Amino acid sequence: MAARISDLFHRRPFMRIFSGECAVHGQVDMTEVEQLDGSMLARGCKRCAWEALHTTPRDSAERTLATAQRKAEDTMAALIGAGITPRFAEATFESYRAETDPQRKALAKCRAYADQFPANFRAGRCLLLTGNVGCGKTHLGSAIVRAVVADRGEALIIPAGDIVSIARASMTPGSGYTDHDVVMHLAGLDLLVIDEIGCQKGSEYELGLLHNIIDRRYQAVRPTVLISNLGHDGLKSYIGDRALDRLRQNGGQQVGFTWSSMRAVA
113-119: long-range contacts, CB 8 A cutoff, minimum separation 24: 113/144, 113/225, 113/253, 114/143, 114/144, 114/147, 114/148, 115/147, 117/144, 117/147, 117/148, 117/151, 117/153, 117/191, 117/223
To the nearest whole angstrom, how small is the minimum distance from the Cβ of residue 32 to Zn ion? 15
Which range in 17-25, 78-86, 115-123, 152-160 contacts Zn ion by CB under 5 A? 17-25
To the nearest whole angstrom, how small is the minimum distance from the Cβ of residue 16 to Zn ion? 18
Touching Zn ion, residues 192-211 (CB under 5 A) = none
At a CB cut-off of 8 Å and minimum separation 6, what does 209 contact?
163, 164, 167, 179, 182, 183
User: 89, 36 in Cβ contact below 8 A?
Assistant: yes
To the nearest whole angstrom, how small is the minimum distance from the Cβ of residue 111 to Zn ion? 43
Helix (H) or strand (E) holding 182: helix 179-187
To the nearest whole angstrom, how small is the minimum distance from the Cβ of residue 63 to Zn ion? 16
Please report whether residue 24 would count as binding Zn ion according to CB under 5 A. yes
Please report whether residue 155 would count as binding Zn ion according to CB under 5 A. no
φ/ψ region of 250 (left if φ > 0, alpha if ψ in -120 to 50, else beta) reads left
Question: Which residue among 11, 20, 22, 43 contacts Zn ion (CB under 5 A)?
Answer: 22
Q: Three-state DSSP class for 34?
A: strand
To the nearest whole angstrom, how small is the minimum distance from the Cβ of residue 22 to Zn ion? 3
To the nearest whole angstrom, how small is the minimum distance from the Cβ of residue 113 to Zn ion? 45
Which range in 3-11, 43-51, 101-109, 117-125 contacts Zn ion by CB under 5 A? 43-51
CB of 8 or CB of 48, closer to Zn ion: 48
Closest CA to 161 of 105, 200, 110, 210: 200
Question: Which residue among 12, 16, 25, 242 contacts Zn ion (CB under 5 A)?
Answer: 25
Which range in 46-54, 147-155, 202-210, 213-221 contacts Zn ion by CB under 5 A? 46-54
CA 230 – CA 106 distance, rounded (Å):
16
CB of 51 or CB of 190, closer to Zn ion: 51
CB of 27 or CB of 172, closer to Zn ion: 27
CA 217 – CA 193 distance, rounded (Å):
12
To the nearest whole angstrom, how small is the minimum distance from the Cβ of residue 149 to Zn ion? 31
Touching Zn ion, residues 47-86 (CB under 5 A) = 47-48
CB of 19 or CB of 172, closer to Zn ion: 19
Question: How many CB atoms are located within 10 Å of the residue 19 CB?
Answer: 8
CB of 7 or CB of 21, closer to Zn ion: 21
Residue of this chain nearest to Zn ion (CB atom): 45
Please report whether residue 45 would count as binding Zn ion according to CB under 5 A. yes
User: 222, 215 in Cβ contact below 8 A?
Assistant: no
CA 221 – CA 209 distance, rounded (Å):
18
Query: Where along the sequence are the contacts to Zn ion (CB under 5 A)?
Result: 22, 24-25, 45, 47-48
